[in-house]
Amino acid sequence: MVRVELFYSPVCPHCPSARKLVSAVAERYCHVEFTEVNTYTEEGIERGMSMHVMAVPTVAVDDEIRLVGWPFEEKDLVSLIESSL
């Protein structure tokens, strides 16, 4: 199982696009556990800071930060997931 986490903020203008793309890609894989982490919550910011996340949107795969900022391409995300499967 590959764990994909998307760190987002409800006030970040880039995040809706990132959330839409990451969730759509993650849905295609039955062995991907996808979690959205809202960094405007205490739990979310603690999780982000424990991983040294410093910007949103950030995509982490299996606890490792892999994509930071927007835009990123669907093929980059697919490649990350498939190399982790």
Residues that bind other proteins in the complex, under the rule CB under 8 A: 9-17, 20, 39-40, 45, 48-49, 52-56, 58, 65, 68-69, 71
Q: Taking the complex as a whole, how short is the minimal distance between the CB of residue 23 and other proteins, in angstroms? A: 13
In the complex with other proteins, the residue whose CB is nearer, 57 or 81, is 57
> Could you tell me the two tokens for 49?
């800071």
> Could you tell me the two tokens for 7?
């760190």
Q: Taking the complex as a whole, how short is the minimal distance between the CB of residue 1 and other proteins, in angstroms? A: 26
Q: Taking the complex as a whole, how short is the minimal distance between the CB of residue 31 and other proteins, in angstroms? A: 27
String of DSSP letters for 15-82: HHHHHHHHHHHHHT-TTEEEEEEETTSHHHHHHHHHTT--SSSEEEETTEEEEESS---HHHHHHHHH
In the complex with other proteins, the residue whose CB is nearer, 33 or 69, is 69
